[in-house]
A and B are shown apart, each in its own frame.
Chain A
Amino acid sequence: AQTVTQSQPEMSVQEAETVTLSCTYDTSESDYYLFWYKQPPSRQMILVIRQEAYKQQNATENRFSVNFQKAAKSFSLKISDSQLGDAAMYFCAYRTMEYGNKLVFGAGTILRVKS
């Protein structure tokens, strides 16, 4: 079974600075998808970025980018130019390519943004 580990329960960043959230996962599969989701205090889960395991190029979405290291099974999220609205719980999630939709989530990292 796949597992996802987020070793940082809480992180803080100054507004306009850069922060990196860590995620590692364990799998025996060679093809899969990885995601970062954001959950603000409203509890609405919002997709931040996705990465296909077969793609070597790291995904980027505006101020959000990932560092995907397949051999190390590492998938970190970098947030540049942090904004107050980035404050939220961030979840790393794994999706197998096996039949069906099922996400395995990490425990989450609370990100606090200081003004």
Chain B
Amino acid sequence: KAGVTQTPRYLIKTRGQQVTLSCSPISGHRSVSWYQQTPGQGLQFLFEYFSETQRNKGNFPGRFSGRQFSNSRSEMNVSTLELGDSALYLCASSPPLTLGTYEQYFGPGTRLTVT
């Protein structure tokens, strides 16, 4: 089975611009979660989508948004980029809860640099 894929892998944007990151989960996984990783704040939960609905949301400003499509692929968008948004953005997918395992499988991440 193919793993979680994220595109693009690297991105450089300018302050004030907006950016869209994409994540394709493992086949059969309907839950997609997003995390931001920075040296200062560590790994922080952004939000989770399940069956095209946002199910959980972390403590991030409204500039951070996401969506999920019917094929479970997810996108996250950051508007009005700030220097502090420079980070590694990780996407993770989870198998159906009926399997009783509850783990998350991560993609390789998108490295966003804001200048």
Q: Identify which of A12-20, A69-77, A78-86, A101-109 touches chain B.
A: A101-109
What 6 additional pairs, Cβ within 8 angstroms, besides A45-B90, A100-B31? A33-B103, A43-B111, A47-B103, A47-B105, A103-B35, A106-B42
Question: Which listed residue, A35, A43, A106, touches B88 by the CB 8 Å rule?
Answer: A43
CB-defined contacts of A47 to chain B, threshold 8 Å: 103-105
Instruction: Tell me the complex Cα distance, A44–B109, Å.
Output: 7
Which residue of chain A has its CB nearest to the CB of B105? A47
CB distance from A99 to the nearest CB of B (A): 7
Q: For the complex, is A50 an interface residue (Cβ under 8 Å from B)?
A: yes
Inter-chain contact A50/B48, CB cutoff 8 Å: no
Inter-chain contact B55/A100, CB cutoff 8 Å: yes
Residue-wise interface mask of B (31-75) relative to A, using a CB-CB cutoff of 8 A (1 in contact, 0 not): 101010000001111001010000110100000000000000000
CB-defined contacts of A50 to chain B, threshold 8 Å: 101-103
CB-defined contacts of B35 to chain A, threshold 8 Å: 103, 105
CB-defined contacts of B108 to chain A, threshold 8 Å: 42-44
Task: Give B contacts to A, CB under 8 Å.
Answer: 31, 33, 35, 42-45, 48, 50, 55-56, 58, 88, 90, 92, 94, 101-106, 108-109, 111
CB distance from B76 to the nearest CB of A (A): 15
CB-defined contacts of A45 to chain B, threshold 8 Å: 90, 92, 106
Question: Which listed residue, A37, A101, A108, touches B31 by the CB 8 Å rule?
Answer: A101
CB distance from A23 to the nearest CB of B (A): 14
What are 10 A-B contacts defined by CB distance under 8 Å?
Answer: A43-B109, A47-B104, A91-B43, A95-B102, A100-B31, A100-B48, A101-B33, A101-B94, A102-B48, A107-B42
CB-defined contacts of A106 to chain B, threshold 8 Å: 42
Which residue of chain B has its CB nearest to the CB of A97? B102
CB distance from B108 to the nearest CB of A (A): 5
Residue-wise interface mask of A (16-43) relative to B, using a CB-CB cutoff of 8 A (1 in contact, 0 not): 0000000000000000010101000011
